[in-house]
A and B are shown apart, each in its own frame.
Chain A
Amino acid sequence: MFSGKRAEFEALVHSYSAELYRYAYSLSRDRVCAEDLVQETFARAWSSWTRLRDTRAAKKWLYTILRNEHARLYERKRLDLLEDQDLDALEERGVTTVFERVEVREALERLPAGYREPLLLQVLGGFSCDEIAKIMQLTPGATMTRLSRARLALRRASGRSGGKEETA
């Protein structure tokens, strides 16, 4: 029984450690912190392993743990409404024109965390809107809005659009 559980857990580590590292790196932007976060995530996952009833939910569970750990360890403040203003402010300052010359990577890093995170969870983690909403403790509607606005900002950043015509 122990060896079975251990084997399952080890398989999970091999399957998701790289992906989680990249997600952790995107949150912390620091290699050491990213590895610490992944280590801590798996340590916590192992200590609660018996509580996981469905191993198919393991991936979402791991992402949630990692996100919470990042918030706990680095005392990141949850930004909600303020982030809307941040994004608007970026656009109003004419950042769009700057974005046109920078890579998507830089644009991604400049997105407020509240917008970057759902996008990364979708593109990197492959999660659905409902799953992202649960991980980020948002409503599905708010998640869709953030995804939409983040993608619009990045699209502008890549110089493909200069206006808001897509959703206007």
Chain B
Amino acid sequence: MNCLACRRMLLVSPREQSSEQLAHIAECEACARLLDELGDVDRQIERATLVPVPDGLAHRILLARRRKPLWGYSMAAAVALVTGISLMLSGIFDRTLLLTPIQAVGPGHPAIAAISLVVDDRAELAQSGDTAEMDHRLKELGLKLKAGNVHAYYGGKCHLSGGECGLIVLDAPDARANVVLVPGYPIPEHVLVADRRMIALASPAKSGAYIVVADSPKIARRMQKLFTRG
């Protein structure tokens, strides 16, 4: 290697040297000096970029992910509130379900994501029919399904807000619903949301949650009642 080739490579990346380059530098004082100088320049660049990072940046990022934007809160709160009141008036929901305070959820909530999943990926949610996998998914959440006259089949795995979930399709003669089984996402209480003309009812399970997505609150509740803790 000659000086020109060595210097060109040093200017590209003074931190990485090939064995050939190292051998040349060991014998060439000028190239060794250039390496030192470029190392100094890089250290100065590094120091120049060391601006103070705001305190608690990482925590704010994580908090922002858990929280929802204000518009999301207000919109979802309104949706949840309106839904709750209408349900109360129509007497569709159990008293116990309605006694829990209505909470606001934002677009990042799995219940909203479940609606998007069902609406946007309806065509892709193919019927896998793997009963053993469905049973496994239910067991994982500590749930049992007493389908009765409702035909239940496993729709395969899906992804929701960064996690792998299972999908069950419930088919009754007069109604249909999709149920997303979400392991490892504990929720303290039922959450009911309305979005994109669909209803999602998220309910706590032993080790996660399950979300019934249906056309109406009545169907969602009816399907949700098919699940028991097992």
Contact = CB atoms under 8 A, between A and B. Distances in A.
Nearest to A158: B41
16 contacts: A2-B184, A3-B185, A17-B61, A21-B57, A39-B61, A39-B64, A50-B159, A50-B162, A108-B48, A119-B45, A123-B46, A129-B12, A151-B41, A158-B40, A161-B37, A166-B11
B12 A2 contact: no
B54 A35 contact: yes
Contacts of B64: 39, 43
Given A1-B163, A129-B12, A167-B11, A123 B65 contact: no
B81 interface: no
Tell me whether chain A's interface is mostly helix, strand or loop, or mixed.
helix
B109 interface: no
Contacts of A18: 53, 57-58
B51 A22 contact: yes
Interface in A93-141: 103-105, 108, 119-120, 122-124, 128-129
Interface in B7-49: 7-8, 11-14, 16, 34, 37-38, 40-42, 44-46, 48-49
A148 B41 CA distance: 13
A-B CB proximity, top 6 nearest:
A105-B48, A2-B163, A2-B184, A104-B44, A148-B11, A49-B162
B162 A9 contact: yes
A28 B65 CA distance: 23
B12 A148 contact: yes
A166 B57 CA distance: 42
Contacts of A61: none
A60 interface: no
Interface string A17-44: 1100111011000010001001100110
B61 to A, nearest CB: 5
B193 to A, nearest CB: 18
Given A43-B65, A50-B159, A123 B50 contact: no
Interface string A42-66: 1100100110000000000000000
A13 interface: yes
Contact of B61 (A1, A38, A152, A160): A38
B163 A5 contact: yes
Given A38-B61, A155-B37, A123 B8 contact: no
B94 to A, nearest CB: 27
B41 to A, nearest CB: 5
Interface in B112-129: none
B164 interface: yes
A10 interface: yes
Contacts of B54: 21, 31, 35
Given A17-B57, A167-B4, A5 B11 contact: no
A123 B14 CA distance: 10
B124 to A, nearest CB: 14
B208 interface: yes
Given A5-B163, A123-B46, A154 B41 contact: yes
Given A1-B163, A166-B34, A167-B8, A14 B58 contact: yes
Most A-side CB within 10 Å, residue of B40, B163, B208: B163
A119 B14 CA distance: 12
A147 B11 CA distance: 7
Contact of A22 (B11, B40, B42, B53): B53
A2 B182 contact: yes
A144 interface: yes
B1 interface: no
